[in-house]
Amino acid sequence: MPLPTQVSVKGIEIHAVPLPPMAPPATGAQGPTPHHGSTRLKPLKSPIQEGKLSVIERSKQLAAWTAVDEHVLPEYRVIGIGSGSTVPYVVERIVSQGAEANKDRVFIPTGFQSKELIVSSGLSLGDVDQYPTIDVTLDGADEVDTQLNCIKGGGACHLREKVLAEAATTFILVADYRKNVEYLGTNFKAGVPIEVVPFAYAKVLQNLHQVLNSPKATLRMAVAKAGPVVSDNGNFIIDAPFDVERMKEPYKIMAQIKMLTGVVEVGLFCHMARAAYFGNQDGSVTAKWNDGKIQEIPATNS
């Protein structure tokens, strides 16, 4: 039985949009593809190894594929690639568009992970210094609320992620169903990531404890090394939890933290994303837009 094209649930208009089939693998997998006579295209390689994915990994993949299909348009030439566990699937889908589609594109990374994904896949690497205006940036998130505000920085890349988000004409979030929440801080309990200069971390911690009422704010410590986590920019990371009532106004918290001397950037992204894509357990994808529209994209066998 075909899915309805439009239904109403609790006053929300929901459209069923078919998920586009996955494009054929990049021709570069079999060697460079000839183009205009003697010119050869750069071979591309997907960063995802073949094999069965878990439910969560498949949901991330579905969200990434859908976001790329809808927002990485043929005419786009400068594309920002974010950080996190969903981003390899973004690169996978871009690679699947083929060497011809990607031959004139340049990809801007937010950190070491995304840089390695771009280089290892055979895509052209660029820098925001060269390309301060980006057509579209796709990035993951630790949590996204109903207004598309999000927490980012679980991987300590939120300074560079925010630079690329602001530089982009279109900023798109991709995540799995666990990140889709009503209020920030629902599932992501670590707190708001804050990048600080090492010289000022103790002073900023004191401000968070005594002035901004985050008594459990702590310096993030490394797991496989002695000492604190150090960002790609040579700074420290503080994680500052706030109660649910405070997290209902993330922009206010972000502004208060940003005003503390020594703070470089805050992992709250407010009023920035155009849309967020969430892969669901049943193979469907939920797309939320900044104008309040919600799309339910049904599962397919592709």
Task: Note whether residue 236 is domain-resident.
Answer: yes
Q: Do both 152 and 59 map to the same domain?
A: yes
Give the CATH number, domain containing residue 25: 3.40.50.1360
pTM, 2 dp: 0.83
Does residue 10 sit in the same domain as residue 84? yes
Residues 6+ apart with CB under 8 A from 186: 143, 244
Residues in contact with 230: Cβ distance below 8 Å, sequence separation at least 6, in sequence order: 222, 236
The predicted structure's pLDDT at residue 299: 80
Note the pLDDT of residue 9.
Answer: 38
- Tell me whether residue 187 is in a domain: no
Whether residues 145 and 284 fall in one domain: yes
The reply to whether 122 and 217 lie within a common domain is: no
Integer Cα distance of 260 and 206 in angstroms: 11
Instruction: Measure the CA–CA gap between 224 and 208, rounded to whole angstroms.
Output: 27
222 with 78, same domain: the answer is no
Cα 269 off chain centre by: 11
Q: Could you tell me if residue 284 is inside a domain?
A: yes
Q: Which of 57, 161, 195, 265 is catalytic?
A: 161
Q: What is the pLDDT along the chain (302 residues), one digit of tens a residue?
A: 444 444 443 444 444 444 445 444 443 333 333 344 445 666 777 677 667 788 889 999 999 999 999 999 999 999 999 998 999 999 999 999 999 999 999 999 999 999 999 999 999 999 999 999 999 999 999 999 999 999 999 989 999 999 999 999 999 999 999 999 999 999 999 999 999 999 999 999 999 999 999 999 999 999 888 999 999 999 999 999 999 899 999 999 999 999 999 999 999 999 999 999 999 999 899 999 999 999 999 887 55
- 34 and 156 assigned to the same domain: yes
Judged by DSSP in three states, 167 sits in: helix
Q: According to the model, what pLDDT value does residue 30 have? A: 36
Instruction: Please report the pLDDT score of residue 301 as a whole number.
Output: 57
User: CATH code at 239?
Assistant: 3.30.70.260
**Sheet harboring 236-240: ordered strands across?**
218-219, 236-240, 192-196, 263-266
Catalytic annotation present for 161? yes
d(CA 164, CA 301): 34
Distance CA 110, CA 160 (A): 5
Question: Is 28 in the same domain as 108?
Answer: yes
Asked if the structure places residue 1 within a domain, the reply is: no
Exposure string for 111-142, b = 16+ CB within 10 A, e = fewer? bebbbebbeebbbeebebeebeebbbbbbbbb
Distance CA 4, CA 25 (A): 31
Q: Are 135 and 162 part of one and the same domain? A: yes
Q: What pLDDT, on the 0 to 100 scale, is given for residue 52?
A: 78
**39 and 172 share one domain:** yes
Both 227 and 281 in one domain: the answer is no
Query: What pLDDT score does 49 carry?
Result: 67
32 located within any domain: yes
**Any domain includes 302:** no
80 and 43 housed in the same domain: yes
Task: Assess whether 246 and 275 both reside in one domain.
Answer: no
Whether 201 maps to a domain, the answer reads yes
Instruction: Give the whole-angstrom CA distance, residue 123 versus residue 43.
Output: 9
**What's the number of domains the chain is made of?**
2
pLDDT of amino acid 200: 98
Domain ranges, residue 137: 6-182+271-297
Distances (CA, A) of 66 to 72, 77, 269: 10, 19, 22
Interatomic CA distance for residues 116 and 125, integer angstroms: 10
163 part of a folded domain: yes
